[in-house]
Amino acid sequence: MLTNDTDPIVAIATAPGRGGIGVVRLSFGRAGEAAALEAMRALCGQPLAPRHASYVPFIDGNGEALDRGIALYFPAPHSYTGEHVLELQGHGGPIVLQLVLQRAIEAGRGFGIRLAEPGEFTRRAFLNDKLDLAQAEAVADLIEASTEAAARSAGRSLEGAFSREIHALVEDVITLRMLVEATLDFPEEEVDFLEAADARGKLARIRQRLDTVLADARQGALLREGMSVVLAGQPNVGKSSLLNALAGAELAIVTPIAGTTRDKVAQTIQVEGIPLHIIDTAGLRETEDEVERIGIERTWGEIERADVVLHLLDARAATTSEDAAIAARFPQGVPVVRVLNKTDLAGTPAAVHEGDDHAREVNLSAKTGDGIELLRGELLKIAGWQAGAESVYLARERHLIALREARDHLAFAADHANQQSQVLDLFAEELRLAQDSLNAITGEFTSDDLLGVIFSRFCIGK
């Protein structure tokens, strides 16, 4: 937990290492404008005009210049944190930045400045109503984005696209709650409330809108986290060749010798901006080789954690009893795509079709690349990806959990509304719980413990 949310704080706000520019940021908390003016005089030798870039020396305790750069002063409440903020933008060498940081701490001793903890600047922006919690999380997601699509989606969340959807849902739920609770206050009214106020219709529209938001959020979570794809099958069916074909690089050693891969080989690729974490594993078979046996145990561990399993088979042969035994061990609920590899040797074309047991099958050649795009398309379908979905915003697992909880509460509310003897107090209670779940996303109904966990994962200085 943070020491105090109103302490004056300071930190280097740029990434560690050397760079063209480095930033030291101060936020003055309860110390306010007087402390900001004191820091400006101590660090820059003069007061600064608000929101005006001033080229000044950054001076030490003896009045000597440590560096020269741009100083910016943002008076409260018009700053990132909502407090009085000073930013010193100098040269990005680690030594000079440390000197400026130490000088800021020395100059701020009189008003109790301390080093900022991870995420503390953004936490203050949230606490001071500059950002809601979903927007604050989007700051970290934008910094950590590993694909262009993820960065664009994080940007939309930071601009408030996700939050606006959540607030609109909350407003709709509140409106319906008001109607229900007003009816509860006047039970003597002999009017069928649900019919007169079109409560069922309003609820159905809220549920439909929530389903749309949840679908977009699922895609956003996929952009953020990616999908774990495990290649599994008997030795020498082409798992390593398929990894190389999907990655477009020779990552795994490929030989005709069964059991070449003894341990997993992992690579992250992008398909339509979605990170796919492809994991090549040891061939599954009975073996006396201790090293290979350990590799096979690890393979089953990866399969248990997979989002998708690609079960590789040889297109030249029918499914063997060994293949059937492998498939029988796959965990329930994990999507499995059968990949019939080596079509170039079998003389069969690349294709996607449904197997006799309704499982999806892709015929391809990892060696020639024929059919690789078909497999990528199948993976996108499993992910639920919709090309060109510009409304997508980056989402986290906690957002999905909250949206699913809200969906469940609205479903219970609909059940109460459709009963012969309408139980309006239970209907109202389910609406209230749905509202609480939605408010948890933006932070209007969030525990301090959750805030501590979220912001502790941010960069220091952000």
Q: Which residues belong to the annotated binding site? A: 25, 87, 130, 236-241, 255-261, 280-283, 462
Give burial (CB, 10 Å; 0-12/13-18/19+) of 284: buried
How many of the other CB atoms lie within 10 Å of CB of 156? 18
Tokens matching residue 84: 């009085």
> Which residues, including other chains, have CB under 8 Å from residue 301's CB and lie 6 or more apart?
none
Q: Say if strands 114-115 and 351-354 run parallel, antiparallel, or are unpaired.
A: unpaired
Q: Which residues belong to the annotated binding site for Mg(2+)? A: 240, 261
Scan for tokens 């977009």, then name that residue: 216
Q: Which residues belong to the annotated binding site for GTP? A: 236-241, 255-261, 280-283
* Inter-residue contact 340 to 363 (CB < 8 Å): yes
CA distance 193 to 204: 16
Q: Which residues belong to the annotated binding site for (6S)-5-formyl-5,6,7,8-tetrahydrofolate? A: 25, 87, 130, 462
* Inter-residue contact 216 to 392 (CB < 8 Å): yes
CA distance 82 to 73: 12
Scan for tokens 């909880």, then name that residue: 405
Q: Which residues belong to the annotated binding site for K(+)? A: 236, 255, 257, 260
What is the crossing angle of helices 133-144 and 448-456, to 10°?
A: 20
CA distance 97 to 404: 46
